[in-house]
Amino acid sequence: MVTVAKRLRPNRTRGFYDRIADVQNLAMKINGYRDSVKKYLRQLDLKTNHASKVLDAGCGTGLVSLAFRDANIKFKTLTGLDLSRNSLGVARDEFASLRKKPHLVNFVQANVLNMPFADRTFDLVLMCGVLEYVPLDDGLAEAARVMKKGSQLVLLPVKPSIVGSVLELLYNFKIHPIEAVLKAVKQNFRIVGSYDFPITRPISWSKKGFLLEKK
């Protein structure tokens, strides 16, 4: 059973990330996460094209969205969704500063458990470090709802580790055991692949990668 008592309520989560948005963005620039995610995305067989609609659910300050853009993967629209207004503001500024603008990028303030999109809207969904704030089954079910059949989900959960435990305390979320993640995803997805980041990349200390396909 997933423990949810420790997780912040939506209003508290939003307020927390509103306060740390700039610091969080700077830290992510320094530690090489963006480049690690870019390299990982390039290795995947992502079935997107120039008509594809992509969602970064729980986008924060846009790190994964920017990594996706850096990877030069084909898409038509990219939507970033997050609870934190200030984090979304940072993400908008980051994309506005790019010399070469992506096709169409927009940002929406909303909860990943109640996304303001129609069923079967997206061809690809990215989720990095967001399901730790919500019940696992509910978060994955909502992601599946907005995805087309056969579309892909790139999932980067926080894994049990020393660094993960420190982050769990600092950010007040709850790490889901990898076994629980694997069990939960099988309700709506097929597991296409899993990935362990090289130990030389800081992202390897706290994250694991999965590529999933909606049934």
Distance separating the N- and C-terminal Cα atoms of the chain = 24
pLDDT of residue 103: 66
Give me the chain's average pLDDT, please: 87
pLDDT higher than 80, residue 13 = no
CA distances from 114 to 18, 33, 61, 76, 94 (A): 20, 27, 20, 24, 26
For residues 105-117, average pLDDT: 96
pLDDT digits (tens, 9 = 90+) for 132-180: 999 999 999 999 999 999 999 999 999 999 988 888 887 888 999 999 9
pLDDT higher than 80, residue 30 = no
Using an 8 Å Cβ cutoff, are 179 and 150 in contact? no
Q: Return the ∠ at Cα 95 (arms to 92 and 99), rounded to 5°.
A: 150
Q: Which amino acid, residue 148?
A: K
Going 181 to 30 to 28 to 14, the CA torsion angle's sign is: positive
Using an 8 Å Cβ cutoff, are 121 and 176 in contact? no
Using an 8 Å Cβ cutoff, are 126 and 64 in contact? yes
For residues 85-101, average pLDDT: 87
At 121 the three-state DSSP class reads coil
Count, in order, helices (H) and strands (E) of the chain.
Answer: 7, 7
Using an 8 Å Cβ cutoff, are 32 and 206 in contact? no
**pTM, rounded to two decimals:** 0.88
CA gap 166, 152 in Å, rounded: 30
Instruction: Looking at the structure, give the CATH architecture of the domain made up of residues 10-214.
Output: 3-Layer(aba) Sandwich (3.40)
For residues 16-45, average pLDDT: 71
CA gap 211, 134 in Å, rounded: 20
φ, ψ at 18 (rounded to 5°): -60, -40
What are the residue ranges spanned by the domains of the chain?
10-214
CA gap 136, 140 in Å, rounded: 6
pLDDT digits (tens, 9 = 90+) for 49-78: 999 999 999 999 999 999 999 999 999 999
pLDDT higher than 70, residue 1 = no
pLDDT of residue 18: 47
